[in-house]
């Protein structure tokens, strides 16, 4: 199915039968991606007395309980409620779901003992392009990103200056294939989160950060339309399934 889209007075077409899924699914057990020093997610049949919610064990339906943390276990989209004292729900703050996006590939640079994404790298990759969303794929880009155990590994992260640059560029939705835009152990400063949501000025309550994506190598850098939906959880973050469509 071909859909026509008019964006900023320019006409685009996308093939709705060719979605490019950049999410990491949730699965039971230790092979699931994980961060922040917590146990693996669990998907288990519900038990109540003699009842076990599993058809193969005599139940009429499969009836699973699921335990997980969206920040630690799955592709998720978060709003500024992730770092505010007051409550904000991503289900309420994300009101639009279709955006013009740019996919870029970045090799994090060495800085001391860390690997970081800098303002200079983002300026080079984006140039004069005007986009609502930015999808960052880091290299190396191996399939093990979908099962990586990130705790105590000091993954790459975004420098504060880079987050400020994205705000100035008008990027409202940032998607990245790392567990966080900030350093794993930063003493709670969360510099890039605070910068991206402009917490030092007028907070950008409609802006979102999506972490733990996986952009396959066959997806080329360039312009796409992004369909960004979250599960309707009234929480600062929710599991999400970002889908890209290549315009023509």
Residue pLDDT, tens place only, 78-125 = 999 999 999 999 999 999 999 999 999 999 999 999 999 999 999 999
The verdict on residue 65 lying in a domain is no
The verdict on residue 131 lying in a domain is yes
Average pLDDT, the chain: 97
% of the chain surpassing 90 pLDDT: 98
The verdict on residue 209 lying in a domain is yes
> What is d(CA 237, CA 242) in angstroms, rounded to the nearest whole number?
14
CATH number, domain at 215? 3.50.30.50
The verdict on residue 206 lying in a domain is yes
> What is d(CA 40, CA 21) in angstroms, rounded to the nearest whole number?
23
Statement: residue 7 has pLDDT above 90: no
The verdict on residue 129 lying in a domain is yes
Contact 166, 101 (CB under 8 A): no
- Average pLDDT of span 68-75: 98
The verdict on residue 221 lying in a domain is yes
How many alpha carbons lie under 13 Å from residue 18 in its C-beta half-sphere?
A: 12
Q: Are strands 109-111 and 98-106 parallel, antiparallel or unpaired?
A: unpaired
Number of domains in the chain: 1
């Amino acid at each position: 199915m071909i859909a026509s889209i008019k964006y900023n007075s320019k006409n685009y077409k996308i093939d709705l039968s060719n979605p490019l899924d950049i999410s990491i699914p949730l699965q039971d057990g230790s092979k699931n991606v994980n961060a922040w020093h917590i146990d693996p997610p669990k998907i288990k049949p519900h038990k109540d007395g003699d009842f076990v919610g599993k058809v193969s064990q005599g139940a009429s339906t499969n009836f699973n309980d699921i335990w997980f943390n969206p920040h630690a276990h799955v592709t998720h989209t978060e709003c500024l409620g992730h770092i505010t004292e007051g409550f904000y729900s991503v289900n309420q703050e994300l009101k639009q779901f279709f955006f013009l996006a740019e996919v870029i590939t970045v090799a994090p640079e060495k800085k001391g003992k860390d690997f970081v994404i800098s303002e200079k790298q983002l300026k080079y990759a984006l140039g004069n392009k005007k986009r609502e969303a930015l999808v960052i794929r880091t290299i190396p880009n191996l399939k093990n990103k979908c099962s990586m155990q990130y705790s105590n590994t000091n993954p790459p992260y975004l420098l504060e200056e880079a987050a400020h640059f994205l705000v100035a560029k008008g990027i409202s939705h940032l998607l990245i294939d790392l567990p966080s835009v900030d350093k794993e152990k930063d003493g709670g400063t969360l510099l890039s989160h605070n910068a991206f949501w402009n917490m030092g000025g007028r907070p950008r309550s409609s802006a979102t950060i999506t972490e733990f994506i996986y952009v396959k190598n066959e997806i080329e850098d360039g312009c796409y339309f992004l369909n960004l939906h979250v599960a309707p959880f009234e929480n600062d973050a929710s599991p999400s399934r970002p889908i890209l469509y290549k315009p023509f």
